[in-house]
Amino acid sequence: MSTEMQKYIDEAEQALLHTYNRYQVVFDKGEGVYLYDMDGKRYLDFVSGIAVFALGYHNEAYNDALKSQIDKIIHTSNYYYNVPAIEAAKKIKEISGMDRVFFTNSGAEAVEGAIKTARKYAYLKDGKTDHEIIAMNHSFHGRTMGALSVTGNPHYREAFEPMIGNIRFADLNDFDSVMAQVTDKTCAILFETVQGEGGIYPATEEFMRKVRALCDERDILMILDEIQCGMGRTGTMFAWQRYGIRPDVMTTAKALGCGVPVGAFLMTEKVGANSLVAGDHGTTYGGNPLACAAVSKVIDLFKEQDVPANVKRVGAYLEERLCGLVKEFACVTERRGVGLLQGLVFDRPVGDIITLAMEKGLVLINAGTDIIRFVPPLVIEEKHVDDMIGILRECILQIEGERR
**Per-residue pLDDT tens for 73-84?**
999 999 999 999
pLDDT, residue 83, reads 97
Instruction: List Cβ neighbours of 258 (8 Å cut-off, separation of 6 or more).
Output: 52, 53, 54, 55, 59, 62, 294, 298
Residue 96 CA to residue 98 CA, distance in Å, equals: 5
Confirm whether 30 is domain-assigned.
yes
Are residue 112 and residue 254 in the same domain, yes or no?
yes
pLDDT band at 400 (very low <50, low <70, confident <90, very high): confident
pLDDT band with cut points at 50, 70 and 90 for residue 47 = very high
Q: What pLDDT score was predicted for residue 334?
A: 96
Helix (H) or strand (E) holding 251: strand 249-252
The pLDDT of 56-77, averaged and rounded, is 97
Within this chain, do residues 147 and 212 fall inside the same structural domain, yes or no? yes
Residues spanned by the domain of 198: 73-305
Same domain, 300 and 335: no
Residue 347 counted as domain residue: yes
Q: What is the pLDDT of residue 404?
A: 58
Residue 64 inside a domain? The answer is: no
Domain boundary among 270, 305, 340: 305
CA 379 – CA 302 distance, rounded (Å): 10
**Mean pLDDT (whole number) for 222-251:** 97
Q: 288 and 231 in one domain?
A: yes
- 160 and 294 housed in the same domain: yes
Domain-embedded: residue 68: no
pLDDT digits (tens, 9 = 90+) for 289-332: 999 999 999 999 999 999 999 999 999 999 999 999 999 999 99
**Neighbour tally for 285: CB within 10 Å:** 17
Residues 310 and 348 in one domain: yes
> Over the stretch 12-37, which tens digit does the pLDDT of each residue have?
999 999 999 999 999 999 999 999 99
Give the per-residue pLDDT at 195: 96
Question: Tell me: the pLDDT tens digits for 294-305?
Answer: 999 999 999 999
Residues 83 and 141 in one domain: yes
Residue of 336, 363, 281, 365 lying closest to 33 (CA atoms) = 363
Question: Are residue 181 and residue 202 in the same domain, yes or no?
Answer: yes
Question: Are 55 and 93 in a shared domain?
Answer: no
CATH number of the domain bearing residue 177: 3.40.640.10
Tell me how far CA of residue 50 lies from CA of 265, 312, 321, 364, in angstroms: 19, 19, 21, 10
297 and 220, same domain (yes or no)? yes
User: Which of 276, 305, 334 is a domain's end point?
Assistant: 305
**Does 225 fall in a domain?**
yes
Residue 11 pLDDT level (bands cut at 50, 70, 90): very high
Q: Is residue 353 assigned to a domain?
A: yes
Q: Do 85 and 121 fall into the same domain?
A: yes
**In total, how many domains does the chain have?**
2
Mean pLDDT, rounded, for 271-281? 96
Whether residue 60 is predicted with pLDDT greater than 70 in this model: the reply is yes
| Whether residue 107 sits in one domain with residue 176 | yes
Q: pLDDT-derived band of residue 1, with 50, 70 and 90 as boundaries?
A: confident
pLDDT of residue 322: 98
DSSP SS3 for 356: helix
**Per-residue confidence (pLDDT) for residue 401, from 0 to 100:** 75
Residue 108 predicted with pLDDT over 90: yes
Cβ neighbours, 10 Å, residue 1: 13
Distance CA 401, CA 397 (A): 6
The H or E element that residue 365 is part of is strand 365-366
| Residue 358 near residue 25 (C-beta atoms within 8 A) | yes
| CB-based contact 98:266 (threshold 8 Å) | yes
Own/partner long-range contacts of 176-185 (Cβ < 8 Å, ≥24 apart): 178/134, 178/211, 178/214, 179/214, 181/134, 182/134, 182/214, 182/218, 182/220, 183/132, 185/128, 185/130, 185/131, 185/132
Rounded percentage of the chain residues whose pLDDT exceeds 90: 96
Q: pLDDT (tens digit, 9 = 90+) per residue, 190-204? A: 999 999 988 999 999
Distance (Å, whole) CA 404 – CA 392: 19
- Bridge-based pairing of strands 167-170 and 100-104 is unpaired
Determine, yes or no, domain membership for 376: yes
Examine residue 67 and state whether it is found in any structural domain, yes or no. no
Select from 263, 281, 305 the last residue of a domain.
Answer: 305
Mean pLDDT value across the chain = 96
pLDDT tens figures, 162-214: 999 999 999 999 999 999 999 999 999 999 999 998 899 999 999 999 999 99
Distances in Å between the Cα of 102 and the Cα atoms of 81, 226, 242, 285 are 13, 15, 24, 12
Tell me the CATH number at 380.
Answer: 3.90.1150.10
Share of the chain above pLDDT 70, in %: 99
pTM: 0.95
Question: Which of the 8 DSSP states describes residue 152?
Answer: B
